[in-house]
Amino acid sequence: MAKKENTVEDSGFLTDWKYAPAPEDNKHIRLNKKYDLFINGKFVKPVKGKYFDTINPATEQKLAEVADADEKDVDTAVKAAKNAYDKVWKKMPAKERAKYIFRIARLMQERAREFSVIESMDGGKPIRESRDVDVPLAANHFFYYAGWADKLEYAFPNRNPQPLGVAGQIIPWNFPLLMAAWKIAPALATGNTVVLKPAETTPLTALKLAEIIQESGLPDGVVNIITGHGQTGAAIVNHPLVNKVAFTGSTDVGKIIQRAVAGTNKKVTLELGGKAANIIFEDAPINQAVEGIVNGIFFNQGHVCCAGSRLFVQEGVADEVIRKLKNRIEKLIVGDPLDKNTDIGAINSKEQLLKIQDYIKIGKDEGNDFYQSSCSIPSKGFFCRPTLFINTAQSSRVVQEEIFGPVLTIQTFRTIEEVIEKANNIPYGLSAGVWTDKGSKIFNLTSKMRAGVVWANTYNKFDPASPFGGYKESGFGREGGLHGLSGYLNM
Ligand code: NAP
Ligand code: MG
């Protein structure tokens, strides 16, 4: 009798469970036809009157039009932020500032469902992610930094911490609301004012955040949110009244920004790309590790800078891990982001889907063993099946370059020295994961990994109190925790 490959005992999961659709209701969502720029506490039209569409990547349908800010609009926003800084925000007692940040957190919690649904509609991520991860974490960042606002002297004793002025903040499309929270909350807590630009494909939750900010009574001009394209971001970076640039996005744009601010006295933090190693030792709890691998790369369609996109498995367990992984990804549900059963939602844009498909072709052409789930995907919208490249070489492009999609490369190793060398042999250094039963191995490895975050026996865990950031081409500076305050202070 042929061996039954995928049983409950083997993988720890039920196999052929059929789920009825469980879509999250979106009838309560009210979107405007057009969104203007949030400048000086009001929604204002862009000077040139230009707008662009934001679409739902799961249906390819237009959700709304958003304003396309040009240099003049950026100038108005930066001047509003500068004025609010000089006249109101830097003079306000820190404990009063904290109350506004706290209020924003509370309002976000009250409207959590609305935020989650819009996040999934605009960006394509599964509702489970936006509901259980993005939105609660975003609110927690505001709560956490509200607590620091009047304790900066304790955070940095004897250093007389002072705000910088206007912070220009530019964020990507993979965690739209969460990245806005990572940026705005510490800036406000440290007494700075803000001009923030969300990514062009995911502007809606930032604009909803603008509504909350208005409702919170935050003084006009303290936070300004403007939408647009790359040039809008560049105009923020280059504006002479901007004192600090905080950027999360690609390494290529990070380099442009660094060149632009060279020779100015602007402070910069850059959170850039990644290509994390997820390392499984023979003594690891294999079923948990397989879940950790899945969570590390297929979570959020692989649109995660810290995604565990390079798997390293110790030789003795490689066959078992790969077999269980194949079985597990067969069971992942790819489809409607608003369905609560969906594991992998829509790829954020057509452009990104084409980029991922290009890399899949490159990986095949390089001769790597290819495996893709046979699951069905919707005929409309941008979707990609979970994909493995097995037995990849260290020099392979799919191993070296950031794909930013549900594509995992697999390599094997024999010794800890070998895996550390291979894991570090990459231009990036944002994060890593290690799975083993031995604490000593964890400490040995984490001290030698050139990665800002190393998770042990877990993956993709975030908390507002812990810092996050990269080495090498993954950028510099830390966001989150006490460390996240210092990027916004002169000391
Ligand atoms: P991106 O193209 O670099 O865009 C990021 C942001 O910068 C967007 O708002 C973008 O506007 C804007 N932008 C584009 N060109 C600009 C310029 N010349 N000057 C100033 N701003 C400019 O990155 P993405 O494709 O949106 O995001 C994916 C990348 O972000 C990945 O590489 C990922 O690893 C990285 N990421 C890193 C972290 C981290 O914490 N390290 C977190 C999330 C994502 P438009 O949207 O209008 O182009
Ligand atoms: Mg969109």
Please write the tens of the pLDDT for every residue from 176-200. Answer: 999 999 999 999 999 999 999 999 9
The pLDDT of residue 6 is 45
- Same fold across 34-272+474-490 and 277-456: no
Per-residue confidence at 15, pLDDT binned at 50, 70, 90? low
The Å distance, Cα 28 to ligand 2 centre, comes to 18
The pLDDT of residue 18 is 77
The two three-digit tokens of residue 373, written as one number: 């789930």
For the chain, the farthest-separated pair of C-alpha atoms sits apart, in whole angstroms, at 80
CA gap 97, 88 in Å, rounded? 10
Residue 9 has pLDDT above 50, yes or no: no
Give yes or no for residue 199 CB within 6 A of ligand 1.
Answer: yes
The pLDDT of residue 299 is 87
Q: How far is CA 212 from CA 44, 67, 155, 198, in A?
A: 16, 19, 28, 16
Residue of 178, 305, 403, 453 with the most ligand 1 atoms within 8 Å of its CB, for mutation: 305
**For the structural domain made of 277-456, what CATH number should be given?**
3.40.309.10
Q: Which-ligand-closest: CA of 381?
A: 2
The pLDDT of residue 183 is 98
User: For the residues 76-101, what does the mean pLDDT come to?
Assistant: 98
pLDDT exceeding 90 applies to what percent of the chain?
Answer: 96
User: For the residues 94-106, what does the mean pLDDT come to?
Assistant: 98
Residue 475 has pLDDT above 90, yes or no: yes
The Å distance, Cα 350 to ligand 1 centre, comes to 16
pTM for this prediction: 0.95
The pLDDT of residue 143 is 98
Q: Which-ligand-closest: CA of 53?
A: 2
Per the CB < 8 A criterion, the answer to whether 462 and 132 are in contact is no
The pLDDT of residue 16 is 59
- Beta-strand relationship, 471-472 and 428-429: antiparallel
- Counting every residue, how long is the chain? 491
Q: Which amino acid is at 157?
A: P
Residue 54 has pLDDT above 80, yes or no: yes
Residue 2 has pLDDT above 70, yes or no: no
Q: How far is CA 381 from CA 98, 122, 173, 353, in A?
A: 42, 12, 17, 10
Domain boundaries along the sequence of the chain: 34-272+474-490, 277-456
Per-residue confidence at 453, pLDDT binned at 50, 70, 90? very high
**Superfamily of 34-272+474-490 according to CATH:** Aldehyde Dehydrogenase; Chain A, domain 1 (3.40.605.10)
The pLDDT of residue 347 is 98
Computed over every residue of the chain, the mean pLDDT equals 95
Cα angle 225-96-208, degrees, rounded to a multiple of 5 = 25
- pLDDT tens track for 311-352: 999 999 999 999 999 999 999 999 999 999 999 999 999 999
The Å distance, Cα 311 to ligand 2 centre, comes to 30
- pLDDT tens track for 400-423: 999 999 999 999 999 999 999 999
CA gap 301, 138 in Å, rounded? 20
- pLDDT tens track for 427-438: 999 999 999 999
pLDDT exceeding 70 applies to what percent of the chain?
Answer: 97
Catalytic residue positions, numbered: 271, 305
Q: Which-ligand-closest: CA of 198?
A: 1
The Å distance, Cα 202 to ligand 2 centre, comes to 5
Q: Which of 487, 332, 314, 326 is nearest to 416 (CA)?
A: 314
Give yes or no for residue 241 CB within 6 A of ligand 1.
Answer: no
Residue of 225, 248, 310, 353 with the most ligand 1 atoms within 8 Å of its CB, for mutation: 248
- pLDDT tens track for 116-164: 999 999 999 999 999 999 999 999 999 999 999 999 999 999 999 999 9
